[in-house]
Structure 1
Amino acid sequence: MAAKAFLITRPAGKADQLLASLDEMGLDYVYQPLIATQMVALKAKEQQWLLEADQLIFVSVSAVTSLQQQLEASQLKAPLLAVGETTASALKQWTGREVRFPLDQRSEGVLAMSCMQQVENQHIVIVRGQNGRELMKQSLQKRGAKVRYVQSYRRVPIALDGASLLAHWKDSVSCILVTSDEIMQQLFTLVPVSAHDWLRQRHWIVVSPRMHDSALAMGIPVANIILADNANDSALMAAICHYKRDYL
């Protein structure tokens, strides 16, 4: 029997709804998180930045949940923005307040929002993990804003036996779903170099044009890359259904 399972690599706690949807559709999948998140303790100066900000931007659900463990929602007075709908939902659930997010659920979408146009002398705080894109900060600084990062969590690779996992995946996995460059890189780091061609021969579902370019740079053929509209569950399921319709 041909391999037809999806390899789902979303971190623990972020894949529940997606896996439930796959179960409802009767689709085969293997679930293996590759990266975990760890809360980073707020420094006193970072807490002060959050309390005094003119606008707060959250880049991920982990940014929200890690901050939630350290602050009361009532302490955040500034308008709230999120890069994506899922993050906005988590932030609204925590704070009970309105949270704005763009239709284009990327940094580019946030920068195009009306509230991001006239920001001269505003103090804007971006809550995120370590590293990540610099586009939002650089663009807002060019518009005259004073931008600071608060790192509320860090991402760490999970210790796994790549050779053992590969032996399990080889007979079942036909399509790999990844939601960050970091996860994609970790897959290639995890499995033996001798299996990199096998990875490249899978179909891949990625969540941004930037990830599409990264997949090409890793040697994955363009015909094997499916670009989801974004990283929320509905967009991922639409991409999975596209793959199911065209390839299974």
Structure 2
Amino acid sequence: MAAALQIAVLTRPAGRNVDVMHALVRRGWLVRECPALEIQSSAVISKCETPDPNNFDLVVFVSRAAVSGFQQQLGSDYVWPSFVRIGCMGPATAAAVERAWPAARAVLRPEAEQARDSEALWPLLQQLPIPLRKVLIVRGQDGRDWLAQKLANAGVEVVTHQAYERLYAGWSDDTVAQFREWAGLQAEVVWLLTSAHGISAIVQRIAALELLDWFRSGQFVLTHERLAQALASAVDTDPSALRMRVCPPEDSEIVLCFDQILPAGSVP
């Protein structure tokens, strides 16, 4: 039934769904915002607990949340040292860096057509004219250690620092009731899933509501190929049993991916 394909659930943190939501509503989707995670900056007891960028050759930010959290820890008046390079995985994080520290040098990041991940950033670091000796990776309370391990194997001293914390977001009674209603109607939902931590949070809540079979029957828009295995593992099924589409994480690309899910002729 065509109407079943027009229900979208957007699970990025609050404030990150607005533009996609408006675009989908204009296209006739019924959209519910349901953040999987709440992002909170990690407090520090004293300035000495915050690593000084001056002590590093490179600082890598894994996300926009890492940038904003580290900026709060350093203080709004902090001027980024011009000799300290910055690396990140995507244009949104690079833009956040430029807003936070205008004095920062050109930010190293993969080209637009590449994946937004550590694997795409790594070749850029290998091409730097001056060898890296000490690197700071700014992230949440945990994360992938692939880049840290690569750097360590190359003889680089690596420090990881927590600048923000991911918490499972609460769901309102209205949201729970809506999911139960859709499940009872066997309505098909298209879920936007953008991180492994977010997938874990969503699946845990859905399982607690005993709606996992309904969830599996939906469609999924993922913002990285690696999330396909994370989702399949979370719902204990083979990836081939799930209907998944992968797109870049930019809003316009996400909307385009949803456009491709709609029946032919549904988009003006």
Same fold (TM over 0.5): yes
Code of the residue aligned with 1:60 in structure 2: it is S
Deviation at 1:99, TM superposition (A): 2.0
The partner residue of 1:10 within 12, 20, 25 is 12
Deviation at 1:49, TM superposition (A): 3.9
Taking structure 2 as the reference length, what is the TM-score of the superposition?
Answer: 0.81
- Distance in 2 (CA, whole Å) between partners of 1:49 and 1:183 is 30
Say which is worse superposed, 101-110 or 10-19, in terms of deviation.
10-19
Code of the residue aligned with 1:23 in structure 2: it is V
The partner residue of 2:136 within 113, 119, 125 is 125
Code of the residue aligned with 2:20 in structure 1: it is L
Residue 101 of structure 1 pairs with residue 106 of structure 2: no
Residue 150 of structure 1 pairs with residue 161 of structure 2: yes
Q: Is the 8 A contact 2:89 2:116 kept in 1?
A: yes
- Distance in 2 (CA, whole Å) between partners of 1:207 and 1:179 is 5
- Distance in 2 (CA, whole Å) between partners of 1:94 and 1:80 is 12
The partner residue of 2:190 within 158, 175, 200 is 175
Secondary structure of the residue aligned to 1:216 is helix
Taking structure 1 as the reference length, what is the TM-score of the superposition?
Answer: 0.87
Say which is worse superposed, 111-120 or 186-195, in terms of deviation.
111-120
Shift of the 67–141 alpha-carbon distance from structure 1 to 2, 3 Å rule, reads: same
Code of the residue aligned with 2:245 in structure 1: it is I
Q: Is the 8 A contact 1:201 1:220 kept in 2?
A: no
Where in structure 2 are the equivalents of 1:226-237 lying within 5 Å?
226-228=245-247, 230-237=248-255
Which structure 1 residue ranges, 5 or more long, are not aligned?
Answer: none
- 1:119-147 deviation line (CA, Å, top 9, x unaligned): 75511111111111010000011112111
The structure having more radius of gyration, on CA atoms, is 2
Say which is worse superposed, 109-118 or 148-157, in terms of deviation.
109-118
> After TM superposition, which residue ranges in structure 1, 4 or more long, deviate above 4 angstroms?
43-46, 114-121, 245-248
- Distance in 2 (CA, whole Å) between partners of 1:137 and 1:151 is 14
Calculate the aligned-residue CA RMSD, in Å. Answer: 2.6
Q: Is the 8 A contact 1:117 1:143 kept in 2?
A: no
